[in-house]
Structure 1
């Protein structure tokens, strides 16, 4: 599932390509026909993200997209190709350089037109987003500190923290040598403050790079040049491989509906 930095990049890319101009909205697949007819030809005011949610505002109406596990956008310039497969929604518009721009949405969990109060209700049930400016990370800690639930599960709860998915969960816990099984109430404010600052930095880096890289240069196999895929993470999807710090085999088990990865030694309970 795309994590918060991906949605932030999508909002920025769609803003550059379409904001301030009329957008031709269609639903080649047909499942979004009513919503497409409502938005077609209207000027796009802004595109923003919050956590794993994307919001495109057309006047009083807002398009809400949640990609879920399988949703994805495909974009390009010039004349769009004939729709292939289950294209839920297509945007077409005039690019700032005078050419054309288009984007196709497939497989999203949610693709719906909402009113302002409906958007507010979605935002009200989400925790703080590390990518939003001037966000108070201690709002998340209040929920974490009041819970007996394992911190590894709490980090995946979007009502606690918005935008964090399986990769950031595993890597953040490892970087702070925190057992994913520690109850939230045993995560102190000082420790959480360090984790929040680190998470903000990691997700901003993800926005810049377009990928998640959490390892320090000294912990990589290749210490020079571009970071290779197998050097990008400490524990995520490294089951059975040696921990980059202590050499212990990385473990995995399901937690909060997703595979959790951790080192028994570096993250000892």
Structure 2
């Protein structure tokens, strides 16, 4: 009979007859915690070391440690309410707290404001009774003061915190990207090919494309008597008014761009007259 099928004897003791002596002899060390054993494919016992598992048995891989994520900056709208209004220019304080870059040359900007008006409002916040602090738009304010205007279109931010005001000023400066020279030249060529390049548009593009040498003064400044200048201006305006009266008769027959350009210059003259009469 095979040893695996042998049973105990009647006396309750195992029958050891015919069994080979394979037990460890007295004195040999026996581990109280024997190595775990498993049977291989052929029934042969395989010793499993610490941390080992049966071949072909899926093992649990350790979960990766969560990486430390960068702290998120909360996104929130600007504090306070916003309203659009035309405020007196003398109510805007000479405060450079939020100026990011110098104003630089404003003559070309002043020319465009004189022709087209103020296209974009400035950003301000109340700093006192009928007083405002500039956040964005320092160059526009300087151009309006250069033109002796009395009002400025402003976006008024009520209850705007110092932090939000600084963020607003930085965003306006960082994200402002001027059109490069190649794009301006391509636009000029496209407008000219389409017949849309008016005299005012050409002048604006040429000034934007001009180099510093071309913008240099033609001659040194000379002191001019104010009365003489006024007399000369009145004489030239008289001759100009005669030409304007002739144009009035044929105004409807003029090209649309010519009419718009003429009205733009007349509108500026009318605003200047209103300003002079208010002095």
**Does the TM-score normalized on the shorter chain lie above 0.5?**
no
More helix by share: 2
Rg: which structure is higher? 2
TM-score when normalising by structure 2: 0.26
